[in-house]
Structure 1
Amino acid sequence: MKNIMVAFMGLLLLSACQAPDATNNSSENTVIIEGSITGATVDKMYLLAERDRQLIPLDSSVIENGMFSLRAELPLPEMLFLQFDGQPDYFRVFAEPGKLRLKADAQQVAALEVEGSASHDLYMQALAIIEPFENEIQQLFAPLSNPKVAMSSAMQDSISLLSDAVYERQNAAIQAFANEHIESPVSAYLLNRYLIFDMDYATLNEMAEAYKVLQPDSRYTRMLTERATLLSASAVGAMAPDFALPNTEGDTIQLSDLRGRVVLIDFWASWCGPCRRENPEMVKVYAEYHPKGLEILGVSF
């Protein structure tokens, strides 16, 4: 009996020694957000996360005397969102496991102050680089939203070309920032938010492979990898995915039927102004190069 009691006490002692470690492991996978807010017109706030391009709730808090507290499981740094009950706007917080302190003004979403997250600090550095480009684009498109300003097609095309140039400079700046801070989840997040649909397969795949080594468990790495896999089917040198659609006469046209020829696939829509304006140019290209083997396959949406 004495030996059993000694063994039992030893087990209790071992459990007691291990308990703090278990608690620490739990806290390492949790974010606690405590904050103060002014100007709130409602008394409830939600903590949201993006899943499959949709925001889902993680926690909620009643706002009492301008204070709130939120908690969620968070094993890795991630962009989270704070939203007032029934309100469309939200605060962005690049959260990390641990305790964060926030100071917010409900009437100024951009004025959020965050303490305790190095990832959020880095994200704010990125926004400082991006903001001038967004302001420039907003100024370019301002005349289009003014009903008193008559805009010709030529003027609209000019604005579109100018904005494309700004977007190119913005994308280059974001890419440079991402490369400089490639070990941070903020880097992969920025590519997902701003560049994922503009990057060619070679560049995207190179970045995804780097993140798989540096940030293998990040959801942003997974999203980039999934996009790279999708683009691999249409990468330069890859076999184009086959498809079949009916033509205007009801006959089925299959892309593989044109194999061995030079094929230009033109995706367009009747409601797309630039597409319609490009049609005469496509006719000229076809007339000049069809005798040399060119086929144009137009796909209308």
Structure 2
Amino acid sequence: MKKIILKISILAFVMFGVLTSCKDNPKMKDALSYTIDGNIDSLPKGMVYLIKIDEDQKIVDSSIVNQGKFQFQGQVNEPLLYRIKEKDKQYGATFILDNEIITIKGKRDSLYLAEVKGATQDSIYKSFYKNDFTKIQKVAFPIYQLSDSLHKIDALDLSIEKGKLSKEHQAILDEKWKNLDTLSIKLTSEYISKNADALGAVLVLNERFITYPNPETAKKLYKILTPEMKQSFYGKKVKASLDLFERTAVGSVAPEFSQTDTNGDIVNLSDYKGKYVLIDFWASWCGPCRKENPNVVLAYNKYHEKGFNVLGISLDDKKDRWLKAIENDGLIWSHVSDLKGWGNEVATMYGVKAVPTNYLIGPDGKIVAKDLREENLQTKLSEIFKD
């Protein structure tokens, strides 16, 4: 799973486009307001917007572009992530805005690659992706290539299940992914330790060990942040996530919830007290979820009569697609959803940031295990029911 997470995160980062060139601007350390001077090549006129990322993409200001130039002026209470983008464009220049003189220079239709100068905290933050993360990528990409090659080789062997690797090849890859994970944790931890008094450390901690959960490492690194960083907007978010990890850790009592099923009836987690239940977060549009569904069906059919249940919680926002996926995949257990997509209230309660995600709850209401997929699900249930 770690190799999938790392691969997704690297690809997402490339799309995010944060590898920009930044320099410090010590002259504005004590400024009480900000000025953003921008220049967009090949855009003689138009409109650009300043967006506060962590408030539902809220537009806080706009500026007319004249001969490629634009300007924003204002004041922030604390440095936060903002984005400048053209009208009707999905991506833009993302940076940490503080009360400084900042210059942004980019090209039309690729503003996400813009050069940002003068943003002190932004420069520290992006130095991680420009330096440390690049080292991780250099080690990672050859492993992806090896993985692709081994899958092509084993695809020709009819004795190997489609999409799987031979035990020998899987062992080779597992060792390489393990070493890559060790390197990634080492370099990221060193960056955070070195910049414990900078917002970049908090952001990287959130992106590398909260979004892609590694609670133990996140907890250790949070402790070394300065008090100021812990009290920052992002520091508080990290703390909230760590508290959530604690509440949904193995051995904890699973948070109670209620949600509406496909017939409009209310289903409670407490309805399953005295039995084992797999809370399965999924969605009709999620390829990995649909791929895993046959494995869950197999487990349900094998262990249901022994006291095993499944409760599907969908992150869909279209009821017809949700119901169609349930029917097509033969998911005969109970399903609930508030049809709010990623805003699903139960998913938020459990801190779900990716699907598929699942929690196995015991008869006493405590979390027995989490993220059981493929053979791990079958193995765990075999241990429980002594199959």
Choose from 252, 256, 278 the match for 1:265.
Answer: 278
What does 1:1-301 align with in structure 2 at a 5 Å threshold? 28-40=31-43, 42-52=45-55, 54-128=56-130, 129-130=132-133, 133=137, 136=141, 165=177, 168=181, 172=185, 173-211=187-225, 213-243=227-257, 254=270, 257-258=273-274, 263=276, 265=278, 267=280, 272-277=290-295, 279-280=297-298, 286=303, 296-301=308-313
2:291 corresponds to which letter in structure 1?
A: G
Rg larger in structure: 1
Deviations 1:128-187 (A, max 9, x none): 2445739949x77xx9xxxxxx9xx966567xx979949957863544433332221012
1:59 corresponds to which letter in structure 2?
A: D
Deviation at 1:55, TM superposition (A): 1.0
Identity value in percent: 14
Tell me the distance in 2 between the aligned counterparts of 1:100 and 1:226: 31
Inter-CA distance 74–171: structure 2 relative to 1 (3 Å threshold): farther
Tell me the distance in 2 between the aligned counterparts of 1:126 and 1:189: 10
1:118 corresponds to which letter in structure 2?
A: T
More strand by share: 1
Deviation at 1:77, TM superposition (A): 2.2
| Alpha carbons 1:243, 1:255 under 8 Å: kept | no
Deviation at 1:72, TM superposition (A): 2.9
Segments of 5+ residues of structure 2 without an aligned counterpart are: 1-29, 149-154, 314-387
How many residues are paired up?
253
Deviations 1:220-268 (A, max 9, x none): 01111222222221124433324578999x997737732xx8x563526
Tell me the distance in 2 between the aligned counterparts of 1:175 and 1:93: 22
- TM-score (norm: length of structure 1): 0.65
Segments of 5+ residues of structure 1 without an aligned counterpart are: 1-26, 144-149
Inter-CA distance 253–234: structure 2 relative to 1 (3 Å threshold): closer
| Alpha carbons 1:59, 1:71 under 8 Å: kept | no
Inter-CA distance 30–234: structure 2 relative to 1 (3 Å threshold): same
RMSD: 4.4
Inter-CA distance 279–39: structure 2 relative to 1 (3 Å threshold): same
Which structure is richer in relative contact order (CA contacts within 8 A, separation 6 or more)?
Answer: 2
Tell me the distance in 2 between the aligned counterparts of 1:242 and 1:203: 27
Deviation at 1:59, TM superposition (A): 1.5
Inter-CA distance 281–89: structure 2 relative to 1 (3 Å threshold): same
Inter-CA distance 193–155: structure 2 relative to 1 (3 Å threshold): farther
Deviation at 1:275, TM superposition (A): 3.5
Tell me the distance in 2 between the aligned counterparts of 1:212 and 1:241: 31
| Alpha carbons 2:40, 2:105 under 8 Å: kept | yes
